[in-house]
């Protein structure tokens, strides 16, 4: 008799075999790491990453100063709603406010020696998020002024919530600070709200945040840093074979850390914040792991940023007569700029590796979408994630090492 085994069962068995082999291979690598380097994980070493001088907290001061920009945006919108400012004056004030938001923290990070790279990255990341939020805040209030009273009320009722707010009743401190902390980049007069706070759900997300924070720090110290340190010599000697070997060694821990960070931020942290604020829209990501094209990945792995780009950048460009290709390229260019901004400024060096990596997504997206389909396209997306990121990491670490420690080594 022949056993009746379906193709689906065969595929599942092969997947199980691949998972077992993957676990065993990585377990061997981790055990080899422990035998070679010992236990390197030390949570106390994280503090110097944020503070050089315990009596100087420039990053925290910059975060406090960010409140000024929020208040300027609110004041400008209130004056516009009363007719005290013309639309041109309001537009100029918003532009100045956002330009200073972009340049002021960058100048402080570059010029103040006590700002660490990690502290600078946190500050610039916070200011970038706030910049995108205030841009959306400006746009939505402008749309409300351009619409008739009836249409403005219809916009206010577009989302179901307990208490509807109509323009200009939304221009309050409570409203703008709720939006500031809400896990979204797109402003609405009335956000969807959950009926109550689920305490068990919120504390589970809090536990995940604390646990994965320690895990990310430990794996970085134990696995990533030794591989990066051992990669400096091959990079300096331009030894292609050893550089490739170091790149492949770095790919596994780097990708694992990226996946853990994704879960920590997009699932645990954003859901914790949403539950605490009773924020109803919990779609922070979709099934990007099923991506068969690069475009699908970028549309689904970071939903808050994707929604902002579509609403406030891509569609306005289309309405102005630009083609879809030009508009998509402009979105990638904007993303490339902020990727470089968030890496180069904290490291105090400009190499454009992140910028070029993001812009390279355009030809990659075209190639994968045109020539690869199904599982081949999905494999190409995973390969770009697993290999592409370590290349950028090695480039920046090498340049930072040469810039800051190369002369001492010589």
Provide the token pair at 340: 């470089």
> How far is the CA of 296 from the CAs of 329, 334, 391, in angstroms?
15, 18, 23
CA distance 390 to 370: 26
Q: Which long-range contacts (CB under 8 A, 24 or more apart) does 200-203 make?
A: 201/271, 201/275, 202/272, 202/275, 202/276
CA distance 228 to 247: 9
Query: Hey, which residues does 391 pair with through a beta bridge?
Result: none
φ, ψ for residue 379, nearest 5 deg:
-65, -40
Residue in 277, 175, 274, 234 with CA at minimum distance from that of residue 285: 274
Backbone conformation region of residue 374, classed left if phi is above 0, alpha if psi is from -120 to 50, else beta: left
**Annotated catalytic residue: which of 94, 306, 312, 339?**
339
Contact call for residues 110 and 345 (beta carbons, < 8 A): yes
> How far is the CA of 362 from the CAs of 49, 104, 130, 378, 400, in angstroms?
34, 31, 27, 17, 27
Is 339 labeled as catalytic in the residue annotation? yes
Active site members: 339
């Amino acid at each position: 008799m022949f056993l009746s085994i379906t193709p689906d069962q065969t595929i599942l068995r092969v997947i199980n075999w691949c998972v077992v082999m993957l676990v065993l291979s990585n377990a061997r690598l981790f055990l080899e790491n422990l035998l070679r380097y010992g236990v390197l994980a030390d949570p106390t070493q994280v503090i110097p990453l944020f503070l050089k001088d315990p009596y100087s907290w420039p990053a925290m001061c910059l975060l406090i100063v960010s409140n000024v920009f929020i208040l300027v945006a609110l004041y400008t919108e209130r004056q516009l709603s009363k007719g005290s400012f013309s639309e041109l004056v309001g537009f100029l004030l918003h532009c100045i406010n956002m330009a200073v938001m972009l340049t002021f923290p960058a100048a402080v990070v570059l010029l103040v020696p006590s700002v660490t790279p990690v502290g600078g990255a946190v500050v610039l990341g916070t200011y970038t998020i706030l910049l995108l939020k205030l841009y959306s805040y400006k746009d939505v209030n402008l749309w409300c002024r351009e619409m008739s009273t009836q249409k403005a009320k219809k916009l206010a009722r577009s989302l179901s919530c307990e208490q509807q707010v109509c323009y200009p009743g939304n221009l309050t401190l409570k409203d703008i600070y709720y939006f500031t902390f809400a896990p979204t980049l797109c402003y609405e007069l009335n956000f969807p709200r959950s009926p109550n706070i689920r305490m068990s759900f919120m504390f589970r997300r809090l536990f995940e945040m604390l646990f994965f924070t320690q895990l990310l720090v430990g794996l970085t110290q134990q696995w990533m840093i030794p591989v990066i340190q051992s990669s400096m010599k091959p990079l300096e000697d331009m030894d292609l074979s050893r550089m490739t070997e170091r790149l492949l060694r770095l790919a596994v821990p780097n990708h694992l850390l990226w996946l853990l960070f994704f879960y920590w931020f997009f699932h645990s942290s954003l859901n914790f914040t949403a539950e605490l604020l009773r924020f109803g829209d919990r779609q922070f990501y979709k099934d990007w792991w099923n991506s068969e094209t690069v475009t699908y990945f970028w549309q689904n792995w970071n939903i808050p940023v994707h929604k902002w780009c579509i609403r406030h950048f891509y569609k306005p460009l289309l309405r102005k007569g630009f083609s879809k290709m030009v508009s998509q390229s402009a979105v990638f260019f904007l993303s490339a700029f902020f990727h470089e901004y968030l890496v180069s400024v904290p490291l105090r060096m400009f190499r454009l590796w992140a910028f070029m990596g993001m812009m390279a997504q355009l030809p990659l997206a075209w190639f994968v979408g045109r020539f690869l389909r199904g599982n081949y396209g999905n494999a190409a997306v995973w390969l770009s994630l697993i290999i592409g990121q370590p290349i950028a990491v090695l480039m920046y670490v090498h340049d930072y090492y040469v810039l800051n420690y190369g002369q001492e080594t010589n």
